Structure 1
Amino acid sequence: MFNPRPSQVEVLNYESGWMGVSAVPGSGKTHTLSSLAARLIAEDRLAEEQEILIVTLVNSAVDNFSSRIASFLRGVNLIPGMGYRVRTLHGLAYDIIRERPDLVGLGTQFGVIEERERSRLLMSSANAWIRANIELIQSLTRAETDASTPRFKQEERWNKLVVEVGSAWIRKAKDLQLSPAQIEEALSALPERPWVVDLGCKMYADFERALRMRGELDFDDLIQLALEAIQRDPEFLARLRHRWPYILEDEAQDSSRLQEEILRLLSGPNGNWVRVGDPNQAIYETFTTANPQYLRNFLRDPHVRALTLPNSGRSARRILDLANHLIEWTLEEHPVPELREALAPPYIFPTPPGDPQPNPPDTPNNIYISRKRTSDEELTGIQNNVQKWLADHPHQTVAVLFTSNSRAFEFFQNLVQADIPCVELLQSSAATRDTAVLLHHILTFLVEPTNIKKLVSLYTAWGKFLDQQAELNQNLPVPPEIRQAAAKALAACNRPERYIQPAAFDDWLHDQEPHLPPPVLTDLALFRERLAHWAQAVSLPVDQLVLTLAQDLFSDPAELALTHKIAQALQAQGRFNPEWDLRDYAAFLQNIAMQRQKFLGLSEQDTGFDPDQYPGKVLVTTYHKAKGLEWDRVYLTGVNNYDFPSAQSFDEYQSESYFTEPRLNWVAEALQRLDAVAQNDLAALFMEEGPATQEARYSISGERLRLLYVGITRARRELLIFWNTGRRKNCLQALPLAALESYWRSQMEEDPHAPSA
């Protein structure tokens, strides 16, 4: 039974018009918005052909909203699944285009390119641009970097930079609704152009040409073309407005210009549009075209009824105080005036007495801010601390948050090696990587079947996989001493072919019978059977080879579906890299396994995650992935002036290319010049380099303030904040953390035992 708070009641009393809601972390916005949707349906406000349209950010939120609305409707004896449609923005755009593809010049069979394939096209275009501009790249590379860095490392850095600039240029151009031809026409009178402009133009043209050849769109095209469709046909727009008389928008702080325009048009000037979000939790601006200013402006519109959901029962009061002080310090004391609006009210209030979600009680020392540590000391200290804590709190939840996937994965591996119970939520799911690891070992072995090291590695990976499967099915795994003895025996086999394909009177495994225990012999015999089966499939095309391996290895539908996705990815790689052999495909799988390749699988970790399902285990993830989640105890890592800069003269920025001369944020420099093209201000193309980088510093620093705020508000009962000196041991404590530590110590000196107000 949902018992709304007074502030939630205000939202639920919505009748019509435009309404904006600022919702603090843990305020129950999803529950409130779901209840509002169910109420509008239950009050019979909709005609038979009409729906409530709910637009949210990610697929897992779609499932969350759908299930909550269905639950509310069942509670009033209505049939769930009717009268509402929940979509991400991309899902909504797809629906619009699918209904009238002719309005934007598409046939009915258009496809949408997958993100990993988009990355591959960009990399191919980047490589072509680099090959055509070797002298320019050499002139832009800092001399000391050029002299001290191996050639392959230089190429790797430039590849990454060129892809980043090109990808950002394409995304921004589509947000500005500029085609490659329109940009070229605007630049046609110029005798020359800055190199970042040349790069952006060429990669955009290459990318669009490749998409057209494939008959596909990318996700940015979906948004742009959906807007064009409803702009071009007033009758189509009128039909959609009638179909969706109420629009409820979640996570509106992450809205982009085009998203706002689409929903504004669908609503109409006299329509019903509710936008809910928290500008203080806008943490995707660096990666996307999202900007929290759109929601802020909407809330200030005199035609909008602006409300707040200020109460949160998620965190202990001291933790709420710390989050609120970060807002207050930013507003009033941040030394950089340009950052004083990065965070803003509403402040978070605890829930009122009698609330069904009371705040967890404060305990002594439930907030800890660490001393200065090296990078290694930070990881070791957290590992030791969380291991001790788990022993005393087996039924509570705990998370360790990192700013990067690579460092998070390093820590996760440390926990695994120390036998500390753990689970991770990183770039690819554990299921994806485990599958990729095993397939990588099989393909590597098939390339060199007589290489004893690869044979032993495959046996070890296969044994680990079988043991994991046994545990999942609540069966006993093979004892580790048997696996170890078998691996040791294999490693001593000087002619692997005698084991893999023995002759009638020359069988290595038969010769081992006097020396190895029966369980070891049985395991090695079973492994040999699998090797023979896999070897028979080696002549198949790589996608069919992987699917054959899947049928041999997996029975779970999700695992088979995941392997099918991997097979499709390998097939696509082969289509565009006809020279690839099994070595190359094995390397591709290794990239997935080692977090170098983004590849979403089909496990719970990719579609939704419930921390309360993992008590007594350490959850390892990033700050960004943690958004929307909560744990009893949270460790924040890396809160130094590199990962959390504050636009100070001594700060450094990951986005600024240290290997170039000058050292600038080339993505920001490129996008500023693209804005100049859009505004037909061609003189601005040749403005001095640097101001765009400085503006980007403000933007990044503001977003990192919000990221710290998000991290703090993930904690229910206990919060531990760590910082380190970085790889070069020259990083300092982040400026906002220093302010929080000073505030916290003053609070403890006043009354170390009193709960916060």
Structure 2
Amino acid sequence: MTSLRPAQEEIVNYAGGRMGISAVPGSGKTYTLSWLAARLIEQADLFDDQEVLIVTLVNSAVDNFSTRISGFLRDKGLIPNLGYRVRTLHGLAHDIVRERPDLVGLSDHFTIVDERESQEIMDAAVASWLRIHPEFITDWSAPDVDLNSSHYTQKHWIDLVDSLARSFIRQAKDLQLLPADLQRLMQDINEPHPLLQLGLEIYTDYQRSLNYRSAVDFSDLIRLALLALQSDPDYQRRLHYRWPYILEDEAQDSSSLQEQILRSLVGLDGNWVRVGDPNQAIYETFTTASPRFLRDFLREPDVAARNLPNSGRSTRSIIHLANSLIEWTNAAHPVPELRDALTRPYIQPTPPGDPQPNPPDDPNGIFIMPQGYEAEKEIESVAISLKRWLPEHSDWTVAVLTSRNERGAKIVEELKKRDIPYVELLQSSQSTRSTADILAACLRSLADPGSATKLQDVLKRLGRIAAGDDKAMVNYYRGAVALLDRCPRLEDYLAPLPDSDWLAALPSDQVADEVRQILADFRDRIVRWQKASLLPVDQLLLTISQELFTNAPDLALAHKLALLLERAAANHPEWQLIEFAEELSSVARNERKLPGFSEEDTGFDPDRYKGKVVVATLHKAKGLEWDRVYLLSANNYDFPSAQPYDNYISEKWFVRDRLNLEAEALARLKALADGDLEGVYIEDGPATRAARLEYSSERLRVLYVGITRARRELVVTWNTGRRGDSQQALPILALQSGWKGNV
């Protein structure tokens, strides 16, 4: 075993009661908590039917804890897999409900819908609601938005209503409110707000579909676990006895329901250790989690508050930069409400003689770019830097971190174009996006058969598949596209009369036989696909795919995409090919996850990919570290600071008054639950402004997470955005004076 630092030693000597631990990035909290679990199993005189319960955030952490604890127990001469249980919150909730489903009105054979099935149910509920309420989009659209001329805008609205409804349902379940409860609360309201009505009606439809399947979703599982504990005090006491020690990891991401479940299991006299870093609470936007639960716990009078302040992950300069962000936020942020977004303790380097010493310090290893790039130029600049840097650092790990999956996909495309080896940690893989992209192009062309531009677009993409790295074939396809561009009438190419065949009339001495054959084969394909366009869209997609792809992975992806469109067709019977093409394009742009084709988080080890560029979102990067990190898009759109000139991703351009509809709906839902009628009837706008503060606070923490992923070198760049009006993020501007450099 590695020796412990003094702060770690104090924690593993814990004997009982309640203890809260603030652990800085790289402080070894998993190692410390695992050691504590092993020591308790060895020394706490547990009975055979008792266990130490460890609750963590993701499945990869379950495996990590189990492996470490087993190793420590083996070193102590104990049986490695006895005396403890490691669960995610969902896993724990499942254990509680599965043991006594009768307490919450479920049969012994209840099922849990996965993400894919939950999304299918939600898609159907949203589509049904929008068909009944077409006026909703009109009423809430910005005055200058032309809804009749843009399928793209309609698709945006469907996605927004889906996201709004999902957030509403998640929050309602966190408040332990079922549709019937909301209906009862709304009886006293004369004219319910349209957003409340939307949430209630879609929630009712969604929950009815779950009940029809005798199923629950993951949010139900947590809600029902608490209900089971509250319904039967004897059951609660049995579980309290079974788990006399509860160790909670990643407590900064705890939700109200999670805290209530664990408090119920711990009881008034139980033993509870909560470990987390409030500065790394970055999931509030997507979940009902909040760092305030851990912060409040640390201030409770019967809680022993401890710190894990030492970290050997990063150089002293990178540590100083992260600490400077905390200091600036606390003391100098221009918005007082944001000054508690980050909190102490500061990160401290490891002491002399520590088994995990900090990397040798190099202040020149931090590069904060003062000038902003155009959006595409930023990606190009980073790729050029990597191309130059990688050959001399093949034994280093390196990552490019970005805020959104779509941006990550563009980075991957640039790396691939420059033959730079890469690994993806994004919402969908490059192969998925490529498959979706070419199939979307085919549907766009079939939807508009008179468009020469769309037809050429399909041929270009076919050329990339067929030619591969064959330079001669690449040139032949380019020649075919150029010839097609000069075709005066598409019908003379696709459906020629005997005396007007454009392809046959091309001079043989001016057109290579290979080019002529490419155009002939392409015409045959397009004609077959046009005839097949009368088929249901999923069958059409499979027909096209069988001609385009030959290897099993691509065909499997195409089948998955066909199922996606089949479901969309059932939910939107009015859709034409252009809408289905846009659905595929959303996958190709990495805006939508394709269920079943992203690997579950089963543990990612950056050290396995030395000499390759890992492309990840900042959220995916949490818990990981690399020798060199590129942090992109550090502008006031990705990292706003509640300034008058900031823009916010949740305030959609197509919504009137740039309202954040999710924030407006959730604020009214919480007011309804609290019996606050004034909050229910409040005018539109205040909730949007409050959400700006919450989001800006979270983005400061996301920035902190990004900085602390770097071991030895950190490169921070920013771009001026799609419209060219974005500015450097305010916190980066504040930190910049200490570090100058060039990529």
User: Normalization by structure 2: what TM-score?
Assistant: 0.84
CA distance in 1, matches of 2:317, 2:16: 38
Given residue 96 of structure 1, which amino acid in structure 2 is its aligned partner? I
Deviations 1:395-426 (A, max 9, x none): 11111111110011011101101111111110
Contact 1:256 1:294 in 2 (8 A): yes
How much has 1:486 moved relative to structure 2? 10
Equivalent residue letter for 1:255: S
Seen in structure 2, the aligned counterparts of structure 1 residues 462 and 440 have a Cα distance that, compared at 3 Å, is farther
Residue number among 635, 641, 656 corresponding to 2:630 in the alignment:
635
SS at structure 2 position matched to 1:142: coil
Q: Residue in 1 aligned with 2:500?
A: none
Superposition map of 1:619-634 within 5 A:
619-634=614-629
Residue 490 of structure 1 deviates from its aligned partner by: 11
Q: Structure 2, unaligned stretches of length 5 or more? A: 448-454, 484-491, 495-512, 515-520, 526-531
Quote the offset at 1:14 in angstroms: 1.1
Counterpart pick for 1:616 among 588, 608, 611: 611
**What are the superposed Cα offsets for residues 617-671 of structure 1, whole Å, 9 maximum, x if unpaired?**
1111111111001011111111111111111111111111332222211111111
The one-letter code sitting in structure 2 at the alignment partner of 1:122 is: M
- Tell me the residue number matched to 1:391: 391
Distance in 2 separating the partners of 1:89 and 1:723: 37
Q: Which residue in 2 is equivalent to 1:275?
A: 274
Query: Secondary structure of the residue that 1:237 maps to in structure 2?
Result: helix
Q: 1:586 to 1:693 in 2, by over 3 A?
A: closer
Q: What is the alpha-carbon distance in structure 2 between the residues aligned to residue 723 and residue 605 of structure 1?
A: 31
Change (3 A) 1:57 1:42: same
Change in 2 beyond 3 A, CA 1:738/1:484? closer
Residues 8-27 of structure 1: per-residue CA shift (max 9 Å, x gap): 11111111111111000000
Q: Helix, strand or coil: the match of 1:53?
A: strand
User: Which region of structure 1 is more displaced relative to structure 2, 602-611 or 709-718?
Assistant: 602-611
CA distance in 2: counterparts of 1:12 and 1:480, whole angstroms: 61
CA contact (8 A) 1:561 1:602 kept: no
Distance 1:486 1:446 in 2: 24
2:502 maps to none
Q: CA deviation at 1:154?
A: 2.7
Question: Which residue in 2 is equivalent to 1:661?
Answer: 656
TM superposition shift of 1:67: 1.5
Aligned to 2:77: 77
Contact 2:412–2:430 at 8 Å: present in 1 too? no
Match of 2:414 in 1: 414
The Cα shift of 1:359 comes to 0.6
* 2:370/2:736 contact within 8 Å kept: no
Residue 222 of structure 2 corresponds to 223
- Cα root mean square deviation, aligned: 3.9
How far, CA to CA, are the matches of 2:173 and 2:739 in structure 1? 46
Q: 1:444 and 1:641 mapped to 2: Cα distance?
A: 35
- Structure 2 Cα separation of the partners of residues 652 and 591 of structure 1: 23
What CA distance in whole angstroms lies between the structure 2 residues aligned with 1:681 and 1:191?
14
Deviations, residues 19-47 of structure 1 (Å, cap 9, x unaligned):
11100000011111111112222336322
Compared CA separation, residues 197 and 711, structure 1 to 2 (3 A): same
| Contact 1:632 1:715 survives alignment (8 Å) | yes
Which aligned pairs between 1:106-185 and structure 2 lie closer than 5 A?
A: 106-146=106-146, 150-185=149-184
Contact 1:445 1:458 in 2 (8 A): no
Deviations 1:695-739 (A, max 9, x none): 111100100000100000000001111111111111111111111
For 1:507, the equivalent position in structure 2 comes to none
In the other structure, the counterpart of 1:43 is 43
Which moves more between the two structures, 374-383 or 306-315? 374-383
CA contact (8 A) 2:297 2:303 kept: yes
Q: Pick closer, same or farther for the CA change 1:382–1:658 going to 2, 3 Å.
A: same
Closer, same or farther: CA 266–567 of 1 in aligned 2, 3 Å: farther
Q: CA deviation at 1:132?
A: 3.2
Mark the CA change 1:587 to 1:731 in structure 2 (over 3 Å): closer, same or farther.
Answer: closer
Q: Which amino acid aligns with 1:291?
A: S
| In structure 1, C-alpha distance between the alignment counterparts of 2:645 and 2:270, rounded to whole Å | 50
- 1:510-533 deviation digits (Å, cap 9, x = unpaired): xxxxx99xxxxxxx9xxx9xxxxx
- How many Å apart are 1:135 and its aligned residue? 3.5
Counterpart in the other structure of 2:669: 674
1:713 is matched with: 708
Contact 1:640 1:733 in 2 (8 A): yes
Identity percentage of aligned residues = 53
* Structure-2 separation of matches of 1:274 and 1:682: 39
Q: What is the CA distance between 1:145 and its match in structure 2?
A: 2.8
Q: Check whether the contact 1:432–1:601 (CA below 8 A) recurs between aligned residues.
A: no
Residue 87 of structure 1 aligns to a residue in which SS?
strand
Mapped to 1, the partners of 2:294 and 2:459 lie a distance apart of 57
Deviates more, 1:257-266 or 1:721-730: 721-730
Residues 428, 606 of structure 1: 8 Å contact kept? no
Counterpart AA for 1:45? D
Q: Within 5 Å, which residues of 2 pair with 1:452-463?
A: 461=465
| Equivalent pair of 1:322/1:744 in contact (CA under 8 Å) | no
Task: Return closer, same or farther for 1:377/1:572 CA change in 2, 3 Å cut-off.
Answer: closer
What residue in structure 2 maps to residue 505 of structure 1?
A: none
Q: CA deviation at 1:588?
A: 6.7
Q: Which moved more, 1:375-384 or 1:291-300?
A: 375-384
Cα deviation code 1:555-586 (max 9, x no counterpart) = 99xx9999998898788778878999999999
Q: Which stretch of the first structure deviates more once superposed, 675-684 or 268-277? A: 675-684
User: Is the CA contact 2:652–2:659 (under 8 Å) kept in the aligned structure 1?
Assistant: yes
Counting matched residue pairs gives 694
- 1:429·1:605 contact (CA, 8 Å) conserved in 2? no
Q: CA deviation at 1:444?
A: 12
DSSP-derived class of the 1:144 partner: coil
Superposed CA offset, 1:198-232 (max 9, x none) = 11111111111121122221111011001000110
Matched, 1:691 2:686: yes
C-alpha distance in structure 1 between counterparts of 2:446 and 2:380, whole Å: 39
Give 1:238's aligned amino acid: R
> Does the C-alpha gap of structure 1 residues 433 and 10 become closer, same or farther in structure 2, counting only changes over 3 Å?
farther
Q: Distance in 2 between matches of 1:112 and 1:131?
A: 28
Residues 1:436 and 1:692: Cα distance change in structure 2 (over 3 Å): closer
> Residues 453, 730 of structure 1: CA spacing in aligned structure 2 closer, same or farther, 3 A cutoff?
closer
* Cα distance in structure 2, aligned partners of 1:608 and 1:582: 39
Distance apart, 1:363 and its partner CA = 2.1
Corresponding letter in the other structure for 1:644: F
Q: Is the 8 A contact 2:251 2:274 kept in 1?
A: yes
Alignment of 1:436-585 (within 5 A): 461=465, 480=470
8 Å CA contact retained: 1:431, 1:601? no
- SS for the counterpart of 1:143 is coil
Quote the Cα distance in structure 1 between the aligned partners of 2:660 and 2:27.
37
SS at match of 2:287: coil
Q: Give the distance between the partners of 2:460 and 2:54, measured in 1 at CA.
A: 53
Name the CA distance, whole Å, in 2 between partners of 1:236 and 1:413: 55
- In 2, Cα distance between equivalents of 1:143 and 1:367: 46
Shift in Å, 1:233: 0.8
Deviates more, 1:358-367 or 1:174-183: 358-367
After alignment, is 184-193 or 389-398 more displaced?
Answer: 184-193
Task: Name which of structure 1's ranges 300-309 and 31-40 shifts more when overlaid on structure 2.
Answer: 31-40
The one-letter code matched in structure 2 to 1:126 is V
